[in-house]
Copies of this chain bind each other. A is one copy, B any other.
Amino acid sequence: MAASTLDILGIGNAILDVLARAEDGFLAAQGMTKGAMALIDTSRAEAIYGAMGPGVESSGGSAGNTCAVAAALGARVGFLGKVADDALGRVFAHDIRAAGVAFPTAPLQGGDPTARCLILVTPDGQRTMNTYLGACVSFGEADVDAAMVASAAVTYLEGYLFDPPAAQAAFRRAAALAHAAGRQVAISLSDPFCVGRHREAFRAFVARQADIVFANEAEIMSLYETESLEAAIEAVRRDAGLAAITRSEKGSIIVAGEATHEIAAEPTTVVDTTGAGDAYAAGFLAALTQGHALPECGRWGSVAAAECIGHFGARPQAELKALVGA
């Protein structure tokens, strides 16, 4: 097996975020489920955008965020995902490359525009997301760069890719290619409702193709259809070699074979939780691929998540290397 030339290869939806503050009543009036991600079409996107407050735009996408944060922590990172050949697509490509992430995916020509996510941030810092997938739906097996997958120590897949149909096949192909090259496969479950929409496919993937699983409490309990966190933890312990369960201000639990590590959250002021889980996965994987022990991987995850939560938007704004002491 050749030495890896990438630490992490992320595969996910390539999305521009539009963040705005909103009251809880706005979510209710719009029929939104607080804290969740809903898929929307163009007419719904227009309606929500027309009703929501002034926005701030930044590059997003779950795996894209993870890649940007991991690169800021010194990891060698690549990303695969589909933008359109338009103004927002150029912003996404600029930002992820400027973050130090290799991004070779060709933009979509003449199809749907670049994806965007309308994110409402309530006064408690919770984010509620409305995603118009646009060009992301065109991401398919042909976009999986086999050489890049083979060169990456960990291929990291965002669970949201179970929504666009062509991406599921790309997802499984990437996992097979990674394992054929002797590499590891990580998956983030992304959202409890996304897990609910595709539960059997997620369970099969976790049991057969995932080496590392990232999930929050709601997601892991949704995966195993249980109301007991303990039961969900024991289930994922059987299915995957390594799992990190994030628990907001209660920190995280790392499950590794027989071992369990409880990791504290880092203190922060909650401004906006958008991207907190993505940042945790980034910190964890950046430390793991640099050879750190699991509790230190969890600490890097907590530090990266705390930095993310302390400002508006999912991409890092502070010197993360200094924050983890790397």
Contacts and interface: CB of A to CB of B under 8 A. Distances in A.
A205 interface: no
A52 B95 CA distance: 9
Contacts of A91: 55, 57
A173 to B, nearest CB: 29
Interface residues of A, number: 27
A49 to B, nearest CB: 6
Interface in A121-173: none
A300 interface: no
> Main SS of chain A's interface residues?
mixed
A54 B49 contact: no
Contacts of A311: 311-312
A198 interface: no
Interface string A221-240: 00000000000000000000
B53 A98 contact: yes
A299 interface: no
Interface string A51-90: 0111111110000000010000000000000000011100
Given A53-B98, A53-B99, 11 more contacts: A49-B94, A52-B98, A54-B68, A54-B94, A54-B98, A56-B56, A56-B313, A56-B315, A86-B87, A87-B88, A312-B312
